[in-house]
Amino acid sequence: MEGRQYETDEWMNTPSSILSAVSRRLHLQPDHPLAITRQLIESRFPGYKSHKDLFPIVTVDQNFDSLGFPEDHPGRSRTDTYYLNKDTVLRTHTSAHQAETFTANQSDGYLITADVYRRDAIDRSHYPVFHQMEGARTWDRNKFDRKYNTLTEQIMADIAKIPKHDIDVSDPNPTIHPERNPLQATHSAEEVEAMATHLKRSLEDVVVTILSAAASAASKTGSPQSSASLAQEPLKVRWVEAYFPFTSPSWELEVFWQGDWLEVLGSGIVQQPILNKAGVGSRSGWAFGLGLERIAMLLYSIPDIRLFWSTDPRFLSQFSASSPISQFIPFSKYPACFKDVSFWIKSSSSAAGGLSGQGATAQHFHENDVMEIAREVAGDLVEDVRLVDEFVHPATGRKSLCYRTNYRSLERTLTNEETNRLHNQFTQQLVAKLGVELR
């Protein structure tokens, strides 16, 4: 990979189609909507050091252990994560670089933008490669401005520098809750109240400035979808309690979007052991991680996540860093083609596993393996794959599943022969790789 050598072993589950995404670096392509979104967010964090080219292949230690993920966390499984070998993965989140960035200790605040990789569902908002931005702000309790008596006073002074907004943000929960969102033993409640306020005001500033600018652009241009987009309603955002292994207390920020609350970021007070191990134990602070595609889809009304990977000039030419706030005018939609496949799943007593089960132990059927096969066969010609029926035979106890695949290109009309061929390959591979029995 790009001049680096990795020895694979029986943990390897990364197809070449995924490895080939490593070189795309969409968040660095000039005028790409993800790059513009990155720049818009970066502009709201003056003074934060920005890292944009950290290599995506990391150790299990970086991705999970250093962040305090428990041994049995589902994120570690080969159904969810792309492995090259037992100790090496494609990073599943930008948090994989927290420990090393804290160790380097180059600035009080930093941002990391990068491609991340997850085995996941296929639909219009999920793609196995996407982009995250991570940010953190820490304060050194031995080195704050001597004008202030306490770290809390320093943080309060920093809060006063964050631009104000006039959006009503709902935040009904207490900052600290002994069971649901505990304080770490190493922190005082006042400090955490101050850090939490700094975190929340900073991230509200990002969401409010970017999404209100997009809403006002949409209402001015009266773009075709503006009735379904941001322009229609006043921006509504809320904080909810969350859990992450690497923060406590933790919160998510949600935006009200087309009738639903949409999660846009996770955040919290950094677990002190992470900073201690990084050799900066006198520092404490907050971190967040957000999905760039999600923000860009809201910002530009982009209807399908596959579009970010398009090289079609009808897509790319609509975005320009010199006028970052615009609305995407979708090209007409090509026809959908739905095809079903029904099968009995193999009983889990058999040792011959599927994609994720080529090792010695028996593995259960996992939906992500179905998704991976669809992606390998049809690539970006598959729009979504959905479980539409599930049935357990009353006498034998065998389980049958029916998946509906929507084949649709973003760029042209697919022919019947083409979709039939894709679907045949898909069903054959399900049998060959997962050992299912077609019905």
Residues in the chain, overall count: 439
Name which of 244 and 403 has its Cβ closer to ligand DAH: 244
Residue nearest to ligand DAH (CB): 289
CB of 233 to ligand DAH, least distance (A): 27
Kindly tell me which residue out of 63, 267, 301, 326 binds ligand DAH, with binding defined by CB under 6 A: 267
User: What is the strand order of the sheet 399-407 is part of?
Assistant: 382-392, 399-407, 337-344, 437-438
**Site pattern 58..97 for ligand DAH (x: CB under 6 A):** -----------------------------------x-x--
Residue 337 — left, alpha, or beta (φ > 0 → left; ψ -120 to 50 → alpha)?
beta
Name which of 33 and 291 has its Cβ closer to ligand DAH: 291
Q: How far apart are the first and last CA of the chain?
A: 41
Under the binding rule (CB under 6 A), the answer on residue 134 touching ligand DAH is yes
Under the binding rule (CB under 6 A), the answer on residue 226 touching ligand DAH is no
Kindly tell me which residue out of 102, 144, 244, 315 binds ligand DAH, with binding defined by CB under 6 A: 244
Under the binding rule (CB under 6 A), the answer on residue 268 touching ligand DAH is yes
CB of 389 to ligand DAH, least distance (A): 31
Q: Considering only residues 342 through 401, tell me which ones interact with ligand DAH, judged by CB under 6 A.
A: none
**Site pattern 136..165 for ligand DAH (x: CB under 6 A):** ------------------------------
Name which of 50 and 358 has its Cβ closer to ligand DAH: 50
CA dihedral (255, 256, 258, 259) in degrees, to 10, reads 140
Name which of 134 and 158 has its Cβ closer to ligand DAH: 134
| Stretch of residues binding ligand DAH (CB under 6 A), selected from 158-166, 179-187, 233-241, 265-273 | 265-273
Binding-site size, ligand DAH (CB under 6 A)? 11
**Site pattern 281..320 for ligand DAH (x: CB under 6 A):** ------xxx-------------------------------
Distance CA 271, CA 75 (A): 19
Query: Nearest to residue 290, comparing CAs of 243, 254, 245, 246?
Result: 254
Task: Give the footprint of ligand DAH on this chain (CB under 6 A).
Answer: 93, 95, 134, 244, 247, 266-268, 287-289
